[in-house]
Amino acid sequence: MDMEVFFPGNLKVHARYKGFVIETDQPATGGGDGSAPTPFDLFLASMGTCAGLYVLSFLQQRGLPFAGAGLVLSTERDPETKLVTKIKLEIKVPAGFPEKYRDAVIRAAETCAVKRHLDNPPVFETFVTVA
């Protein structure tokens, strides 16, 4: 299925995909309206929510409580290039989480399809057509 990307105004860039419109914008300090996350924010959110889905499924499949569980995604950047050099996922588990599952829940989070694509990145092909 193709994704259609379009420009509704100012620095907004939206994508129509699978019946949804995914909105992005730039912050007001960068000339945008600050009305939506930036594309890079969505990139990071896709990793956090993807890993979160695997953690939630792990807990549910074992009948473990998930109230209070979640993840915190943080990044480290190269000061010169401003590019992210490290992404850390902190998995928060409820009190009483069995010690025997700690390594397994980490492995579950690491099976996220978004992360796996970064481990083996696809080839990008960019070209121009006339509208």
Q: pLDDT tens for residues 50-65?
A: 999 999 999 999 999 9
Residues 31, 42 within the same domain: no
pLDDT value at 42 more than 90: yes
| pTM, rounded to two decimals | 0.90
Helix, strand, coil share (%) of the chain residues, nearest 5: 35, 25, 40
Q: Which residues contact residue 21 at a Cβ distance below 8 angstroms, ignoring those fewer than 6 apart?
A: 14, 15
pLDDT tens-place string over residues 86-127: 999 999 999 999 999 999 999 999 999 999 999 999 999 999
Tell me whether residue 44 is in a domain: yes
Reported as a single tens digit per residue, the pLDDT across 77-94 is 999 999 999 999 999 999
Q: Is residue 47 part of a domain?
A: yes
Is residue 84 within 8 A of residue 76, CB to CB? The reply is yes
Same domain? 42 vs 32: no
Q: Are residues 68 and 94 in the same domain?
A: yes
